[in-house]
Amino acid sequence: EDQVTQSPEALRLQEGESSSLNCSYTVSGLRGLFWYRQDPGKGPEFLFTLYSAGEEKEKERLKATLTKKESFLHITAPKPEDSATYLCAVQAVITGGGNKLTFGTGTQLKVEL
């Protein structure tokens, strides 16, 4: 069974204080690892897809990296508007084309002035 574990559960940062969120996963065969941002009362917003170990992607203050066992979401010089829950999900390669995402429980990030 595919599993995703995210840590920490909650993170409080001062504005400008860089940090990383962790996503550990086990999957039978990884098709892709996905990062989403979710604001309260809204649906998850797509950020990145990573397909193979060593891959990195960047968007503004966010950089996602992938190894064979985990992914990191690095936040450089965060701002209060980066406050949200960040969700990690995996999609397995399944014979017959199953495409479901298996999510972790998320990291709740709060960035303070």
Partner 1 sequence: GAGVSQTPSNKVTEKGKYVELRCDPISGHTALYWYRQSLGQGPEFLIYFQGTGAADDSGLPNDRFFAVRPEGSVSTLKIQRTERGDSAVYLCASSPGPGRSYEQYFGPGTRLTVT
* Chain residues that interact with partner 1, rule: CB under 8 A: 4, 31-32, 34, 36, 41-46, 49, 87, 89, 91, 96-106
**What string of H, E and C letters represents the secondary structure of the chain?**
CCEEEEECCEEEEECCCCEEEEEEEECCCEEEEEEEEECCCCCCEEEEEECCCCCEEEECCEEEEECCCEEEEEECCCCHHHCEEEEEEEEECCCCCCCCEEECCCEEEEEEC
Q: Residue 17 Cβ, how far from partner 1 at the closest point, in Å?
A: 25
Pick the closer one to partner 1 by CB: 78 or 104: 104
Pick the closer one to partner 1 by CB: 16 or 98: 98
Q: Residue 41 Cβ, how far from partner 1 at the closest point, in Å?
A: 8
Pick the closer one to partner 1 by CB: 9 or 15: 9
Q: Residue 111 Cβ, how far from partner 1 at the closest point, in Å?
A: 20
Angle, CA of 16, 39 and 63, to the nearest 5° = 45
Q: Residue 8 Cβ, how far from partner 1 at the closest point, in Å?
A: 14
